[in-house]
Chains A and B, each alone.
Chain A
Amino acid sequence: MSKVNNKNVEQNVNDKDIIERYIYDVTRRVPEKQRQDIRLELTSLIEDMCEEEGATVEEVLEKLGSPAEFAKRYRDENNYIIGPDYYDNYIWVLKIGALATVISSIISAIIHGILSAGGFDDFINEFFKEGISAGISGLYTLVGIVTIVFVVLERLKVKVDIKPEDKWTPSSLPALPEKKALLSRGESIASIIIYVVLIGIFVFVPEIFGVFESTDNGFRSVSNVFNLENWNSIVPWFVGILGIAVFDDIVKVIYGKYCKAVMYSSIICNVISFGCIVVIFKFKDVWNPSFAKDLLAYTGKEAYSEGDILRFWGTDRISNIVIAFIFVISCLEIGVTVYKSLKYSEK
């Protein structure tokens, strides 16, 4: 008699265990805040089914089906980070970005190879070392940037779409865009590639900005323009600028023509990346402080003549010139985009 009881107890423990495992396997796949609720609800359900249908726990669980499937039905349907509307563009931009990264790493690798004073063997060696490391970290960065941008756009779109739309009539169809209003994909491709290559150079081979002397063994660096010791704290700002530029291009690809969205994106992106430039050149010790001194020592002169820009090395003036230059370019770009967007956007 007691043996039978023991068996029952054992069976009960087993059942409890398997129910708990089932419920855990469902709830671990649903959003945190629903877990407790679903756990309680499923516990009662399974107990009810066992009692009312006289079925074993195994039979009941089999009827309920796979926990993964159950959990999938519990989750909200639009549980994706990039939806079908943007998917094609996402893949497209990723491909362009990958291409740009490959080009950028090859260019960085060539520069690196040339600057590594040494023979052909050294060149090949440095080329592959730099190329592979720049390629891998570049790809990670780019996939990250593009994905984040699309996720942000997806969330923004969801927000915009929730707003009630005015009643649609055929007359509310947008006019066919004028040819001049269209933004060409080729331009976006070019822009992404140029940005990736330029930023790639700043990130991976900033030593190219400098003065070199030609020796029998290739090139030898005399001095760097930039403060390479401090470079690690500057790189993130360049990556930020790249991210913002890619964002702007993605908006252009998605809308395909000058419109309000493209206009706002252009304004915001230009302002933010101008901000990054100001940070880099005003607050980051970007210049190599001994550049002018190194050059003087190399040329053997005592001092620079009047009007020579290097006279101002170590003062704010050079940073100010760069910032003013970028400021003018940003203003021009904003101006052109705003003008075209206002001109071509439907009334």
Chain B
Amino acid sequence: MEKDLVESLLSELRRGTLILGVLSQLDESRYGYALIQSLEEKGMSIDANTLYPLLRRLEKQELLCSEWNTEEAKPRKYYKRTEYGDTVYKIMIEQWNKISEGMAGLIGGNE
């Protein structure tokens, strides 16, 4: 019961940062699995069953655009930030910096 609560609080906390993390990696086009790997390398783990639907949603919101590459052995869908995505990404970074500064003050002050 309590474990569920903690888990749902944590996933809520992570949700917004995942979007920012995903947008950060898509200045160049990447396909889903490559994106999971590059996020993992940099310390952000994301499950495929979270990422794939998320990519689709961000595309629907016109933050990303996609293209199928069928030339290689495996067909892969490559995603990339759109111009609108760039703008939104920049705004999100500013906001993130403000939040993390503020939070550092709040949480750091308690210690």
- Where the two chains meet, the residues of A that have a C-beta atom closer than 8 Å to any C-beta of B are 34, 37-38, 40-45, 47-49, 52, 63-65, 69-70, 73-74
Which 4 A-B pairs give the minimum distances between C-beta atoms?
A73-B53, A48-B33, A44-B74, A70-B49
Q: Cβ of B44 < 8 Å from any Cβ of A?
A: no
Q: Cβ of B2 < 8 Å from any Cβ of A?
A: no
A42 to chain B: closest CB distance in Å? 8
Of all chain B residues, which has the CB nearest A45?
B33
Of all chain B residues, which has the CB nearest A74?
B53
**Residue with the greatest number of chain B CB neighbours at <10 A, chosen from A37, A40, A45, A49:** A45
A256 to chain B: closest CB distance in Å? 34
Contact B37 A45, beta carbon cutoff 8 Å: no
In the complex where A40-B77, A41-B77, A74-B56 touch, is A52 in contact with B33 (Cβ < 8 A)? yes
In the complex where A41-B32, A45-B32, A52-B33 touch, is A73 in contact with B74 (Cβ < 8 A)? no
Contact B33 A49, beta carbon cutoff 8 Å: yes
A89 to chain B: closest CB distance in Å? 28
Please, how many angstroms separate the alpha-carbon atoms of A41 and B50 in the complex?
14
Question: What are 19 A-B pairs at a CB distance below 8 A?
Answer: A34-B56, A37-B77, A40-B75, A44-B33, A44-B74, A44-B75, A45-B32, A45-B52, A48-B74, A49-B48, A52-B37, A63-B47, A64-B48, A64-B49, A65-B47, A65-B49, A70-B49, A73-B50, A73-B52
Please, how many angstroms separate the alpha-carbon atoms of A11 and B48 in the complex?
25
Which chain A positions have C-beta within 8 A of B37?
52
A137 to chain B: closest CB distance in Å? 42
A35 to chain B: closest CB distance in Å? 13
Please, how many angstroms separate the alpha-carbon atoms of A22 and B81 in the complex?
30
Which chain A positions have C-beta within 8 A of B33?
44-45, 48-49, 52
Which chain A positions have C-beta within 8 A of B68?
40
Which chain B positions have C-beta within 8 A of A48?
33, 74
Which chain A positions have C-beta within 8 A of B74?
43-44, 47-48
B103 to chain A: closest CB distance in Å? 27
Q: Cβ of B30 < 8 Å from any Cβ of A?
A: no
Interface size on B, residues (CB 8 A): 16
Which chain A positions have C-beta within 8 A of B56?
34, 74
- Residues 46-86 of chain B: 1 if any A CB is under 8 Å from the residue's CB, otherwise 0? 01111011001000000000001000001111000000000
Of all chain A residues, which has the CB nearest B72?
A44
Which chain B positions have C-beta within 8 A of A34?
56
B34 to chain A: closest CB distance in Å? 8
Which chain A positions have C-beta within 8 A of B32?
41, 45
Contact A41 B49, beta carbon cutoff 8 Å: no
A248 to chain B: closest CB distance in Å? 36
Which chain B positions have C-beta within 8 A of A41?
32, 52, 77
Of all chain A residues, which has the CB nearest B74?
A44
Which chain A positions have C-beta within 8 A of B50?
73
Please, how many angstroms separate the alpha-carbon atoms of A34 and B60 in the complex?
12
B97 to chain A: closest CB distance in Å? 28
Please, how many angstroms separate the alpha-carbon atoms of A48 and B30 in the complex?
14
Which chain B positions have C-beta within 8 A of A47?
74
Please, how many angstroms separate the alpha-carbon atoms of A41 and B53 in the complex?
11
Please, how many angstroms separate the alpha-carbon atoms of A302 and B68 in the complex?
88
B32 to chain A: closest CB distance in Å? 6
Please, how many angstroms separate the alpha-carbon atoms of A74 and B51 in the complex?
10
Please, how many angstroms separate the alpha-carbon atoms of A42 and B56 in the complex?
13
Please, how many angstroms separate the alpha-carbon atoms of A64 and B33 in the complex?
12
Contact A74 B52, beta carbon cutoff 8 Å: yes
Please, how many angstroms separate the alpha-carbon atoms of A63 and B48 in the complex?
9
Please, how many angstroms separate the alpha-carbon atoms of A40 and B49 in the complex?
15
A39 to chain B: closest CB distance in Å? 10
Residue from the list B31, B49, B75, B77 in contact with A73, Cβ < 8 A:
B49
Please, how many angstroms separate the alpha-carbon atoms of A251 and B47 in the complex?
44
Which chain B positions have C-beta within 8 A of A44?
31, 33, 74-76
Please, how many angstroms separate the alpha-carbon atoms of A48 and B36 in the complex?
11
Which chain A positions have C-beta within 8 A of B48?
45, 49, 63-64
A57 to chain B: closest CB distance in Å? 14
**Residue with the greatest number of chain A CB neighbours at <10 A, chosen from B33, B49, B76, B77:** B49
B72 to chain A: closest CB distance in Å? 10
